[in-house]
Structure 1
Amino acid sequence: MDLQWITDFVSMQGTSFVINLVAALAIFFIGRWVVKLLHGLSLKAMQRGKLDPLLTKFLGNIVYALLMIFVVLAAIGQVGIQTTSLIAVLGAAGLAVGLALQGSLANFAAGVLVIFFRPYRIGDYVEAGGTSGTIDDVQIFTTELRTPDNRKVIVPNGQMMSGAITNYSSHDTRRVDLVVGVGYDDDIDTVRRVLEGVVADDPRVLADPEPNIRMSAMGDSCINWIVRPWVNAVDYWDVYWEMTEEIKRRFDAEAISIPFPQRDVHVYHHPDKADEASL
């Protein structure tokens, strides 16, 4: 009789446990689907509110993480585990883990600083954290950059904020800095006329600020000229490359030389003892 009671109790408890386990799995998978749906809706709502894309992605990641924590706790509670005790244990463990993972917490804090101060935005080309590239995404702990050759570079937020940040996209205009070397025998007025013509004939060069064309230095093998036109930021590299090529073409047409480094070598002959004896 006692054995039958134990068997019935285990059978009832086992059935109840299986039902609770199935319910917990259903809560988890359905909850995850609902979280993804809410995450997408929140992103669309922030985009409709014309929130900054950087802030939108960062807040979206935080919303997703918080909702998933709620779903996991609900699923665990369905199995019969006391979530209040679990939260207390996780809190104590979280303190220990937090001390061990101070770098991750620093990265999270740096991510918050990025959102608050906005040294860069999604789509900006920056140089920071020992690398350079276009900002694709800002996660809770990391920033994703895309290099010009289409490589993804993931940099911790703390590393991004620990040094100087050069943002090449923050302003609408940029100055193209070219240095051109010509020979000492070339006419100064001709060189100036050719360089001014190249700049004036490019429709992408802005009239304000005015381009700067000056002789800058007399080097060992050439005279250096600086050519500094202002252009829209999106035209920077096209102007840089195409203007360099056009200067070379016009220099060739005007017979203006572009010298290469050279040295004059003087050879002196010292007579040896045999030569002195013959004298």
Structure 2
Amino acid sequence: MDNIEELMKQVPELVAVYGLKIILALVIFFVGKYFSGVAKKITERLLNNRKVDKTVSTFVANMAWAVVFTFTVIATLGQVGIQTASLVAVLGAAGLAVGLALQGSLSNFAAGVLLVMFRPCRVGDYIEAGGVAGIVDEITIFATRLKSPDNKVITVPNSSIMNGSIVNYSMMDKRRLDLTIGVSYDADIRKTKQLLCDILESNDKVLKDPAYTVGLAALGDSSVNFVVRPWVNAADYWPTHFELMEQIKLALDENGIGIPYPQMDVHIKEMPAK
């Protein structure tokens, strides 16, 4: 009973001492939480104004919120009387352990940030990277999602893209078609070249500037090979490719110019009688 009475006598003193600390801790917590949201909104707005990719702006804004909120929690615990120095040390050790365990993920994260900062490719570009090719559908923090021409979804780790060559077919507004046309050795070379030039001149998708190139490239084993290199708008690349191949084949047939295929002549010698 004496202990209980003594404890009851200390209650007002405890409330006076720790009640104020708890109230201040709650104030720190809610004010810090509010400013965490403010920091997130301001960071996201600043990055969006600088036209930073939405993926990066959202991630960095969330990181800003997490940093401010973490300091808020530490300050709240310190106000209550909990020793935060040891807590910070534990969190640091845990962060190091998690970082070592997630080296690959952190590498992908860093590569993702570099992708959206330097922008070697953007959403909608057709690229070759990481051993695959496709249209960039989404660049996330850890991976890039591509759509192949036959509508397959390919997810590639960002580090695989950044650690290799990136071929972007959509970045430039003009592209050059590289066609090789083989004709028979019996064909009239001048007539064939003029025919190819006429086809390019008549196609409205072929650009006048830069000028196209038609030239005799090689005397092959079975054919005389011409290179046909017109420039087209990037969006017209494949339609023009298909059109020109069809037009060239029809024109060569109409003018009696043969397109040879690989042949092998076999000579059989009669063995002399014994």
With the length of structure 2 as denominator, give the TM-score of the two structures: 0.74
Match of 2:51 in 1: 51
Q: Deviations over 1:200-239 (max 9, x none)?
A: 1111111111100001111111111100000111111111
Instruction: Measure the CA separation in 2 of the matches of 1:192 and 1:150.
Output: 39
Question: Does the CA-based 8 Å contact 2:55-2:139 persist in structure 1?
Answer: yes
Change over 3 Å in CA distance of 1:120–1:241 after alignment to 2: same
Cα-Cα RMSD? 3.4
SS at 2:94 equivalent? helix
SS at 1:135 equivalent? strand
User: Residue type matched to 1:244 in 2?
Assistant: M
Change over 3 Å in CA distance of 1:66–1:151 after alignment to 2: farther
Instruction: Measure the CA separation in 2 of the matches of 1:87 and 1:239.
Output: 63
Question: Does the CA-based 8 Å contact 1:127-1:133 persist in structure 2?
Answer: yes
Instruction: Measure the CA separation in 2 of the matches of 1:103 and 1:271.
Output: 73
Change over 3 Å in CA distance of 1:140–1:244 after alignment to 2: same
Change over 3 Å in CA distance of 1:96–1:59 after alignment to 2: same
Residue 101 in 1 paired to residue 106 in 2? no
Question: Does the CA-based 8 Å contact 1:212-1:226 persist in structure 2?
Answer: yes
The answer for unaligned runs of 5 or more in structure 1 is 2-30, 274-279
**Which of structure 1's runs of 4+ aligned residues deviate more than 6 A?**
68-75
Question: Does the CA-based 8 Å contact 1:215-1:225 persist in structure 2?
Answer: yes
Match of 2:154 in 1: 153
Match of 2:113 in 1: 112
Match of 1:166 in 2: 167
Matches within 5 A, 1:221-240: 221-240=222-241
Aligned residues: 238
Greater CA deviation, 137-146 or 165-174? 137-146
Question: Does the CA-based 8 Å contact 1:61-1:139 persist in structure 2?
Answer: no
Greater CA deviation, 160-169 or 106-115? 106-115
With the length of structure 1 as denominator, give the TM-score of the two structures: 0.73
Q: Deviations over 1:150-170 (max 9, x none)?
A: 222111111111111111112
Change over 3 Å in CA distance of 1:245–1:200 after alignment to 2: same
1:62 Cα deviation from its structure 2 partner: 3.6
Question: Does the CA-based 8 Å contact 1:123-1:135 persist in structure 2?
Answer: yes
Change over 3 Å in CA distance of 1:147–1:51 after alignment to 2: same
User: Residue type matched to 1:51 in 2?
Assistant: K
Change over 3 Å in CA distance of 1:72–1:241 after alignment to 2: farther
Matches within 5 A, 1:195-214: 195-214=196-215
Matches within 5 A, 1:63-74: 63-64=61-62, 67=65
Greater CA deviation, 111-120 or 216-225? 111-120
